[in-house]
Structure 1
Amino acid sequence: MTRRTRGLVGLALAGALGLSGCAGHSRTAAGATPAEAREAEARISEHPEERERPGDEQAERDAFARRAIAALRAAGEKRDIQYDAEGFLLRVGSKDENPGETLFLGNFFDEYLALAPEERNEVFTQLVRMRDRPMLPKTFAEARPNLLPVVRGRTFFEQLRMVMKGGADKPVPISWKPVGPFLGAGLAFDGPDTLQYLGPEELGRWGISFDEAFTVALENLRQRSTEGLEQLAPGTCEAPWEDNYATSRLLLDEVVRRCRVRGEPVVVAPHRDVLLITGSEDEDGQRRVAEKSLRAVMAPRALDGRALRLTAKGWVPFMPERLSNAWGDFRKLELFTRARDYDEQTQRLEKLHEERGEDVFVATYTPYQDEHGRSISYAVWLKGVDTLLPKTEVIFFMDPARGEEAPPVGIARWDEVAKVLGDLLVPVEGLYPERYRVKGFPTGEQLSGWQNDPGELFDEDGP
């Protein structure tokens, strides 16, 4: 998780709420570019004192990558090493070699920043171990005892296509399946010091399907999950395992149900080593779970802050009742997670369109909380700009031709916009979180039916 992501939470609608002027260069709408749209979006969404210094952070990331390369060379790596600054990863070896030789630097960098300066060298030691991971067994019979299921945020799996080069016809490097609406479960070979994700190539070589291997992995996990849960309070529990597979235990209903909850089981998996369980009718337990989750999602290797409820049909989203004292924290977790996922997707898409030479504006998902604690998420739809719009609760319509100080020409909730402008919002296939390509701009008559006071968009009964 980058500092840019952490800075997303709490951003203000500076221009629209009267803190500063709104966006747009004084030129015709047809001439606006994605770069200018990004500048416009930044003006409407940030306090000046909260604006980041992307150049400084990029320099720090680049310096980290140089140290990582030096550590690999010192450990004896002789192959070519290519640094992808946009993807923040290292590719070790030639293009024809196994894509498993891609080293993603994001988690290592976050851990590096979290440590005291005198402890940071350990991060590079861990990174070098990734290069030294053992060869996978040649047969499934040999691999079988070490197979385990790995639960991660769905964004991790969905965005691999954009990170891994090779075209749309290249197989997905990691096999996985959804778990509820925003988690996913893959397969891993659990080695002494590292885990290796498994994909179609490995499973095909062993002559076994993903479902068959996943069944074996679940049974292996079940055998490693005989301990009792740690009780945080009556009806609220935490998984005791810190083995990179704590969150995978939500795949085992019998483990989840060891926690005697009020109502149906509710889980949050904010970190790969944190699985929290409470009940759908336990407000105190929900507050306790949310408090721990808010800390965990800010740590390196975080997963997802949104809650799931176990039903007869599987895992479904859960949110406390609006008047519950737990609602506010669950709402923060929801907004933060969606903002982080969209932020990662935005960076990937911008890189992809740049490589293709396509002039497309990838709009930002921005959460906002006012002085009363009320919150919304919003995106900016600019006239005359080819835009990929995230699904937010509110849309700000801006006309760059009106100048930098002009207010929005309309503000409306997403559901209302979709009813009126459904033909202008085209879903982009294959993207998670979902995005829509805008086709045109509302007419003056349509805009006149929408307010331009964002304060009225908040629910008066709560955040």
Structure 2
Amino acid sequence: MERAVHRPDEFAIAIYRTGSAGPAHLYLANIFRETAGVTTAERRERLAKLVRIMAAPPPQDTWETVRPKLRPVLRPVTFGSAGPPGMRPPISRAALPYLKELVVVDQPDAMAYVVPDRVDEWGVTVEEVFATARDNLAEMARASLEQPWPGGQPLISMLDDGDAYFTSLLLAPGWLAEVGERLGGPVLAFAPDNNTLLLCPLPRITAEPFYALAGQHFKEAPRSLSPVGYVAGPQGRTIAYAPPAGHPHHLSARRAAMLLALTEYHGQTDWLAEQYARAGVDVQVGVLLATEPVGGVPETVAVWTAGVSTLLPKADTIAFVHPETGPRFRAPWDTVAERVGLQAEPLLAPPRFRVDDWPAPEVLAEIRQECP
């Protein structure tokens, strides 16, 4: 190591290694939250371990030696996006709504996210890296299914010590369906944080107690992942559980999906607003809102204000607001998108849609006429 620079605005330390093109960043927010209630001695040990991991030289793996160490992991869609200018985030791809798949190198004391520079060093493609990580996961999934599974329990907790990659099992095609076969019926799975996987038989009546437990865990976890419930879908692939309106589980599942969307857009809104302000770009970063009328359907809302350049978050409905006269009406997102041709801005996840002034009066009238 050549030097380390404190960056208080980012709550981070930039670490410069000899021969590296740029610094590695040690972000402190998670460990700050995780050690908030521990003793001084425990906190010092956690920090010392973190420094040892960051100070160690990067492993000199070749493609052949690194292959068996690759693991896929699930992370929030905004993970790794808020970094210093010029930072190349880890390789990733879409996995589930508001979640993405990344690849890590499993190491004895930690995991290292695979970045584009490492892929270039190995002389392979990003697709090969993902495929190899998935092959390794398939072996782990088979091994887990061979273990004895307890029957008759309302909730199974799989708590990861850092080596088991339990939440990654949701990425293994067929795994959740096979768990259901061992437990005697469809399974509802929750991954409220990076290291916790909760499994329960799909309830016949209410699922609210399970959603409440996962939601509270999600809100309190330093490394939260998702409050959404997941089930086995077509071809055994894991999908978000989204029962239709009128189903006993509909409201619980809908609220969980909204909580995840609100959480991800909230973090993105703050970061984008700061970046645009620093760059002097005059654009409003729209806030995703949520509403649940008494006896009505919960939904997310994006506000389109006349004459204001805005990056709209993806929502269930769009509220048209005039800066002088206030709210005019709300319309379904799909109706507006079809009429005005909303296009997602490049490189933003979750997606944003740039709008300026309202559509032409005749188009706005058509949209309003189509509203229920």
1:246 maps to a residue whose letter is F
Name the SS for the 2:34 alignment partner: helix
The structure, 1 or 2, with the larger RCO (C-alpha pairs under 8 Å, 6+ apart) is 1
Give the superposition deviation at 1:361. 0.5
Shifted more, 183-192 versus 356-365: the winner is 183-192
Name the SS for the 1:156 alignment partner: coil
Name the SS for the 2:343 alignment partner: strand
Alignment match, 1:46: none
Partners of 1:231 and 1:238 within 8 A in 2: no
1:375 maps to a residue whose letter is P
Are 2:3 and 1:79 aligned?
yes
In 2, Cα distance between the equivalents of 1:253 and 1:163?
32
Partners of 1:276 and 1:289 within 8 A in 2: no
Partners of 2:174 and 2:236 within 8 A in 1: no
4+ long deviations beyond 6 Å = none
Consecutive unaligned residues in structure 2, runs of 5 or more:
none
1:190-239 CA distance string (max 9 Å, x none): 22221111122213222333444444434544555534376585586443
**From 408, 416, 432, the counterpart of 2:349:** 432
Name the SS for the 1:441 alignment partner: coil
Give the superposition deviation at 1:288. 5.2
Give the superposition deviation at 1:242. 3.4
Alignment match, 2:322: 399
What is the TM-score when the length of structure 2 is the normalising length? 0.80
2:215 maps to a residue whose letter is L
In 2, Cα distance between the equivalents of 1:238 and 1:352?
40
Matches for 1:28-427 after TM superposition, within 5 Å? 79-83=3-7, 85=9, 87-93=10-16, 97-99=20-22, 101-113=24-36, 115=37, 121=44, 124-156=47-79, 160=81, 163-166=83-86, 172-222=88-138, 224=140, 226-227=143-144, 228=147, 231=150, 233=152, 237-243=156-162, 245-253=165-173, 255-256=175-176, 257-260=178-181, 266-278=188-200, 282-283=203-204, 286-287=207-208, 289-298=210-219, 299-310=221-232, 311-312=234-235, 314-370=237-293, 375-400=298-323, 402=324, 406-420=325-339, 422-423=340-341, 425-427=342-344
Alignment match, 1:58: none
Cα gap change, 1:374/1:321 in structure 2, threshold over 3 Å: closer, same or farther?
closer
In 1, Cα distance between the equivalents of 2:152 and 2:313?
39
In 2, Cα distance between the equivalents of 1:264 and 1:165?
46
Q: Using the aligned pairs only, state the percent identity.
A: 25
Cα gap change, 1:397/1:213 in structure 2, threshold over 3 Å: closer, same or farther?
closer
1:18-37 CA distance string (max 9 Å, x none): xxxxxxxxxxxxxxxxxxxx
Richer in strand (by share): 2
Name the SS for the 1:335 alignment partner: helix
1:53-104 CA distance string (max 9 Å, x none): xxxxxxxxxxxxxxxxxxxxxxxx861414162x544322389835561123
Q: Figure out how many residues of one structure are paired with residues of the other and give that number.
A: 361
What is the TM-score when the length of structure 1 is the normalising length? 0.66
